[in-house]
Amino acid sequence: MTSTLGIPTTADLRSRAARALHALGADLPEPGKLPARTPITGGTLATLQYSDPSAVDAAITAADNVFREWRTVPAPRRAAVVRRLGELLVEHQAALADLVTLEAGKIGAEARGEVQEMIDVCEFAVGLSRQLYGRTIASERPGHRLSETWHPLGVVGVISAFNFPVAVWAWNTAIALVCGDTVVWKPSETTPLTALACHTLLRRAAVETGFDPGIHQLVQGGADVGRQLVDDHRIALLSATGSTRMGRTVAPRVAARFGRCLLELGGNNAAIVTPSADLELTTRAVVFSAAGTAGQRCTSLRRLIVHADIAGPLLERLDRAYRQLRVGDPFADGVLVGPLINGQAYQGMQAAIERARADYGELLCGGERVDVAGDESYYVRPAVLRMHAQTEVVREETFAPLLYVMTYRDFDLAIEMHNAVSQGLSSSIFTTDQREAERFLAPDGSDCGIANVNIGTSGAEIGGAFGGEKDTGGGRESGSDSWKAYMRRATNTVNYSSELPLAQGIVFG
């Protein structure tokens, strides 16, 4: 291993976590067997209690009971809780961002950006509370009014992942609350402190606006806690973020009880770079998308499909940029790449590199482990591999900073290569040719839920619906009309006449 920037000790980080929690008003519960580990050193910041089956059942029961009153509160009044949550997030942005860095390993700028995303979605949800529109439909019967209305759905279960430990929760919770739902949240067991902090802030927001804090429940633990949410008929909607494998287990079980699922699963995202592309802009976008968050975003760029005529110049630029990336303490100024979440992520990356090499791939740069804090933490230099074909390993998602580069000659082939994976989350094209851009966005272009032009695959704004197709699960969260997933639709017919005409002209009796 090579050595680079030094970092604080686990004791220093433990103190920093305690200060952040104190600032957020969150008191640690009694010590338990659930470790809050930091990937910065691999050490333990605290231990928490697992939620046993009775505690999970009690949380669902409480959320279900509170829902019966919460659903009758007018939506603009429900929004007061979310508005206050947004204000508290502005006030405590630095402290919550510290916890995100401590538990997920994100550099400071990305951690603060994630909390800003929470603030943004709170603002969106407050505005949405006055726009939960139905519609009026022309009736074929005289003296009748036909319309659609939307009503609160029930208890929403949220299962979130480590890589966005607070933003994805906020996407779901802010929208669910203004829609009149209550929430039971099971965060990743690797980020329990950030969850405790968010839970504390939301319950404070509820109390300060005069509402029952039981609108939000927190349960901590592993897969067994998740299964209890999956199988409980009182969970009207289960929003789950994680691997495709997890989704294949969750979806049939929820469907078996006729519940609803909102799945955000894996992504194997690609960008096409055409001969007309602005290579300076492309390089900056590619590096951020592929190396940011140490490649641990669902929207991370994993495949680069470059026209053969410009592959050389672009790879030279990428090589220079990658060699300048500073790997180390995510709290340190100038560091752009923090740690992988754990040793399993590191081993997965190394195994993928070896498989790619066996497929005649050439490792252009990176891939080596960096000795920052000893054997219990896992820092790695982002890697670029030149591949001669889109082999099996390229078609799989490796959750690490690993970028495969392939070339093409024909634009139709580039799109075919782009779509030839099972995932369908995010995609990009870099071009100044309008025809190429429009073709990429056309029905026979990118098959992903997110398709960008001259911008990377990561960094979505909250105003648009977030999600993907195929093995990505089909769910949509955050902006646009994603709110409809959290409500139930009713078709209403009102007869204000003195007659009783039947639809389709049927005469009965």
The residues assigned a catalytic role are 264
The residue written with tokens 């002209």 in the block is 505
d(CA 166, CA 188): 10
DSSP code of 240? E
d(CA 329, CA 388): 35
Q: Are strands 383-386 and 269-273 parallel, antiparallel or unpaired?
A: unpaired
Bridge partner residues of 40 (DSSP): none
Kindly report the backbone phi and psi dihedral angles of residue 229, in degrees, each rounded to the nearest multiple of 5, phi listed first.
-65, -40
The alpha carbons of the chain give a radius of gyration, in whole angstroms, of 24
DSSP code of 242? S
DSSP letters spanning 41-107: TS-EEEEE----HHHHHHHHHHHHHHHHHHTTS-HHHHHHHHHHHHHHHHHTHHHHHHHHHHHH---
In the chain, what's the furthest Cα-to-Cα distance? Answer: 89
Question: Cβ distance 69 to 167 under 8 Å?
Answer: no
Kindly report the backbone phi and psi dihedral angles of residue 493, in degrees, each rounded to the nearest multiple of 5, phi listed first.
-120, 125
Secondary structure, 3-state, 441-491: HCCCCCCCCEEEECCCCCCCCCCCEECCEECCCCCCEECCCHHHHHEEEEE
Question: Cβ distance 234 to 153 under 8 Å?
Answer: no
Q: Which residues of 39-78 are buried (b: 16+ CB within 10 A; e: fewer)?
A: bbbbbebbbbbbbeeebbeebbbbbbebbeebbebebeeb
Residue type present at position 407 = T
The residue written with tokens 């001669």 in the block is 388
d(CA 414, CA 283): 19
C-alpha torsion sign, points 217, 223, 225, 228 = positive
Q: Which of 186, 208, 190, 210 is nearest to 199 (CA)?
A: 186
Helices (H), ranges, 295-433: 311-324, 343-358, 411-419
Give me 342's structure tokens.
């754990």
Q: Which residues of 273-290 are buried (b: 16+ CB within 10 A; e: fewer)?
A: bbeebebeebbebbbbbb
